[in-house]
Amino acid sequence: MKIKKLLVAIYFFSLSTPVFNQTVYEFEDSLQEKRFYELISEIRCPKCTSGSIASSDAPVSRDLKSKVYQLVLDGSTDEEIKQYVSERFGDFSDYRPPLKGFNYFLWFGPFIFLVLISAIFFIKRRI
Amino acid sequence: MNQLLRFLIVILPILIVVFFAKVLLVDEEIKFANFEAKNFPAFQMNDLSGNPVKAESLDGIKLVNVWASWCVTCLVEHPFLTKLSKNDIEIIGLNYKDADSKANAWLQKHGNPYLFSIYDPRGDLAFDLGVTGAPESYLLINNKVIGHIQGEMNQIKWETAFLPLIEKAKQGS
């Protein structure tokens, strides 16, 4: 009986995704490896509502990861790699949108809002 | 002072609701408006019959449609593309991560609205174009990409996104 349960458990474990996920990235040194994993967690999956390519197994994310891997091995800088990706997939692809145009509102909007709200509370307490 | 506060307490939530409603409801239009025109990436590829594709064949006003025989939504938009290809615009296919035998069989079965289809089994050209999956459509004017739609192409998207761009380009030239 116990063996049967064990076999069932093994069967279900064998269906879990890590078994099918056979992409292994090998690096020349640990710095490259560190950069690669940082980059893929900072590049947004173009096919997902929200999530980095590190967290996604969508076909386009797989392509992006292997491209980033290639570029890291070829010696491109982080900036060059992000530039390369955003040229193709737009500013949307970077989880840290560049400081320009409407993005100023994106970056500083919350702080402006915070100052406004605390000003209201401050004034209200004095009355 | 108190009145101002009361006013703010009422008006702020309303502003927030309006802001989010706007962002949520009109994001498609914003996307189209913000699309930055860029050059069609350089490529060296064959079409589905095995002939090399010339860059000049992308001149003029063209629709590049990303499709594959495994793609279900491509079948949904297929009748509309067929209609477009008859009267409105010349369409070039970009066959994406597919096998040429399957792709050709698909065209034979469902009809071929494309002038020709670029064969991109690994998705290299598609990657340079910024394709995230099939189907997607790009509007090209003289080798420049000026519009992009993800997902199914239909009458509404055609009229709201691409037609105005085409008219603008025609006026400009």
For residue B102, the model assigns a pLDDT of 95
Question: Within the 21-50 window of chain A, which residues sit less than 8 Å (CB to CB) from chain B?
Answer: 46-47
Q: Is A60 on the interface with B (CB under 8 A)?
A: yes
Long-range contacts of the stretch B151-157 (C-beta < 8 A, 24+):
B151/B73, B152/B73, B152/B76, B152/B77, B153/B65, B153/B77, B153/B80, B153/B81, B153/B84, B154/B77, B154/B80, B155/B80
SS3 string of B56-118?
HHHCCEEEEEEECCCCHHHHHHHHHHHHHHHHCCEEEEEEECCCHHHHHHHHHHHCCCCCCEE
Q: Which residues of A touch B38 (CB under 8 A)?
A: 87
Q: Is B128 on the interface with A (CB under 8 A)?
A: yes
Q: What is the CATH number of the domain that holds B140?
A: 3.40.30.10
Model confidence, pTM: 0.74
- Is residue B2 in some structural domain? no
Structure tokens at A113: 């809002």
Mean pLDDT, contiguous 10-residue spans, chain B (173 residues)? 82 90 67 72 92 90 95 94 93 94 95 95 92 91 89 89 88 75
For residue B30, the model assigns a pLDDT of 46
Q: Is B112 exposed, middle or buried (0-12, 13-18, 19+ CB in 10 A)?
A: middle
- Is residue B54 in some structural domain? yes
For residue B121, count other CB atoms closer than 10 A to its CB.
14
The DSSP result for B139-171, as a single string, is EEETTEEEEEEES---HHHIIIIIHHHHHHHHH
In this prediction the ipTM stands at: 0.72
Taking 70 as the threshold, does the pLDDT of residue A18 lie above it?
no
Structural domain of residue B110, as residue ranges? 35-172
Q: Is A127 helix (H, G, I), strand (E, B) or coil?
A: coil
Q: Is A48 exposed, middle or buried (0-12, 13-18, 19+ CB in 10 A)?
A: middle
- On whether the CB atoms of residues B149 and B137 are closer than 8 A, the answer is yes
Residue-wise pLDDT tens digits, A70-113? 999 998 999 899 999 988 988 778 887 777 777 788 888 899 98
Closest chain A residue by Cα to residue B123: A63
Number of structural domains found in chain B: 1
Q: Which residues of A touch B134 (CB under 8 A)?
A: none
Residue-wise pLDDT tens digits, A58-72? 889 999 999 999 999
Sheet holding B61-67, edge to edge: B38-39, B144-150, B136-141, B61-67, B90-96, B117-120
Q: Is A80 on the interface with B (CB under 8 A)?
A: no
